[in-house]
Chain A
Amino acid sequence: MTAENNRRSWMSVLAKAPAGRLLALWHELGAEPDFHWLRAPEIGATMVRGRLGGTGAPFNLGEMTLTRCALQLESGAVGHGYVQGRDKDKARVAALVDALMQTEQAEAVRATILTPLQAEMTAAKDTRAAKAAATKVDFFTMVRGED
């Protein structure tokens, strides 16, 4: 996996993570490192697009809320936070995690925050998929006829 793919992957986990869990795991990591804002947290929206018939030309479906920020650690590492919803704390922590993942603390951050978050999100998704699977219809055919 390239460095870019790696970063895409953890930023995506952070964006979708439940804010409460991300903040709780963040506190487990210990004291917050010093940083300065490159862009203070800002709430906005993005226009979500779909495609005609699911596969054709794009159309505008509606907006969703986002919060973004950018910051720099004293070590110089720059972190970006782009998270779903309106939550400045979540965006700050996401940016801090993104920055720390580029430092020698990466393994500790991954083990304390990203791995458990990913596991919880996968488990929640699997539970829904398992409940959906239980509602799958099993057809049976009645045999009928003259002979």
Chain B
Amino acid sequence: MYVAVKGGERAIDNAHAWLAEERRGDLDVAELSIAQIREQLSLAVNRVMAEGSLYDPDLAALAIKQSRGDMIEAIFLIRAYRTTLPRFGATAPVDTEAMACDRRISATFKDAPGGQVLGPTFDYTHRLLDFALAAEGDIPEAPQSEPRTEVTPHITEFLNQEGLIQTEVSSDDVPGDLTREPLELPSSRPLRLQALTRGDEGFVLSMAYSTQRGYGRNHAFVGELRIGKVAVEMDIPELGFAIEVGEIELTECETVNQFQGSKTEPPQFTRGYGLVFGQSERKSISMALVDRALRWQELGEDNMGAPAQDEEFVLYHSDNIQATGFLEHIKLPHYVDFQSELELIRKLRREAMENINPVQEAAE
């Protein structure tokens, strides 16, 4: 419980003035521009967009500058901003098959149509600090080859043609929206995916890692990972038809997991799915593993009591803004709460001392 505490306005104003000065840092060093952050710290920008749940690279870059690089603070700023925006509608589900892929790899099929396209990846770098980056300099343009113009098919579709993997049944159901209605349990897979895609990268990664280490094991292959741009199409009521209102970068991960079968169905591979704003590979793979772990009931698996199988545990702890809000509030004034605790512990100690040493007490 907290009560209103008055006073401190001058201290707060001065603290914020000092914050602004510290944010700027040494005046002899050039100030960062929003465009520099957007272009050169793009994976940080992507994370802020994904967890802020708002695709706008300029805003995410501004949030990173304002938060001095504190990612959760930046995500908080974006979440706060998005609540001020009127919602014009919802888009048609994005067609990830039509993605213009910068990267597309499969850990299951070497010779997949469309090939293994590495894209601008950190994979196979030696993870040695590159001191050449400490000096400014021009970089050569990346090599080019004959571009692919055909659509790059989804790998899981090849398995699906043989009936080897469970089919995702298409529908036009309107999905529930966490940002409009409070989460209720048991939830649904669409709601879980919404929570995971905006969930904290570290949390989702750790949950996914726990499944790999045996807490709700569901052995996953990365059937496909693709990164690239997709068009976003929306119905415009005043026009009576749909137009593309924009283009966004996405990372999609489809996992192929171990079999399910039943008395009526032969064994089939099962799926986990990750789809995240921006180039967000680690998050997307993590999301797919956790998605798959949470499907245990639907797929008739045993509840191992693993944290990643526990919908309530995962969904109520994945959001870093909820988490940090509750965590950080304990540093705010709790003077009255604490006063009552103080009185209580003094009373308990007095009583305990009387019990330990009644004679001495009586003598006094």
Listed in ascending order, the chain A residues whose CB lies under 8 Å from chain B are 4, 7-8, 11-12, 15-16, 42-66, 68, 70, 80, 82-86, 125-137, 139
Residues of B within 8 Å of A12, CB to CB, are 231, 243-245
Known contacts A48-B232, A56-B169; is-contact A133 B147 (Cβ 8 Å): yes
Q: Are B277 and A68 in contact (CB under 8 A)?
A: no
Give the CA-CA distance A126 to B148 in the complex, in Å: 9
Whole-angstrom distance from the CB of A58 to the nearest CB of chain B?
Answer: 5
Apart from A8-B243, A80-B236: 17 A-B pairs, beta carbons within 8 A: A46-B234, A49-B175, A50-B94, A50-B193, A53-B156, A56-B170, A60-B177, A62-B53, A63-B55, A63-B85, A65-B85, A82-B236, A125-B229, A128-B100, A131-B142, A132-B103, A133-B147
Give the CA-CA distance A86 to B54 in the complex, in Å: 12
Known contacts A49-B93, A131-B142; is-contact A57 B50 (Cβ 8 Å): no
Residues of B within 8 Å of A42, CB to CB, are 86
A-B contact count (CB 8 A): 230
Q: Are A66 and B102 in contact (CB under 8 A)?
A: no
Known contacts A61-B197, A135-B117; is-contact A56 B171 (Cβ 8 Å): yes
Listed in ascending order, the chain B residues whose CB lies under 8 Å from chain A are 49-50, 53-56, 58-59, 82, 85-94, 96-97, 100-103, 110-111, 115-121, 142-149, 154, 156, 168-179, 189-191, 193-194, 197-198, 229, 231-232, 234, 236, 238-239, 241-248, 250, 252, 254, 271, 273, 275, 277
Residues of B within 8 Å of A59, CB to CB, are 175, 189-191, 193-194
Whole-angstrom distance from the CB of A105 to the nearest CB of chain B?
Answer: 21
Q: Are A136 and B116 in contact (CB under 8 A)?
A: yes
Known contacts A45-B54, A127-B144, A132-B148; is-contact A61 B94 (Cβ 8 Å): yes
Q: Are A63 and B94 in contact (CB under 8 A)?
A: no
Residues of B within 8 Å of A50, CB to CB, are 93-94, 96, 193, 250, 275
Give the CA-CA distance A139 to B88 in the complex, in Å: 48
Q: Are A46 and B87 in contact (CB under 8 A)?
A: yes
Q: 29 interchain pairs (CB within 8 A)?
A: A7-B241, A16-B247, A45-B82, A46-B232, A49-B91, A51-B93, A51-B96, A53-B156, A53-B254, A54-B168, A54-B273, A55-B97, A57-B190, A58-B171, A60-B175, A65-B54, A65-B55, A66-B88, A66-B246, A82-B234, A82-B236, A82-B243, A85-B246, A86-B56, A130-B144, A132-B102, A132-B147, A133-B148, A139-B110
9 A-B pairs with least C-beta separation = A84-B246, A56-B168, A129-B147, A53-B168, A59-B190, A130-B144, A12-B244, A64-B55, A133-B145
Residues of A within 8 Å of B248, CB to CB, are 48, 64
Whole-angstrom distance from the CB of B271 to the nearest CB of chain A?
Answer: 5
Residues of B within 8 Å of A48, CB to CB, are 55, 90-91, 94, 232, 248
Whole-angstrom distance from the CB of A132 to the nearest CB of chain B?
Answer: 5
Residues of A within 8 Å of B89, CB to CB, are 46-47
Residues of A within 8 Å of B178, CB to CB, are 60
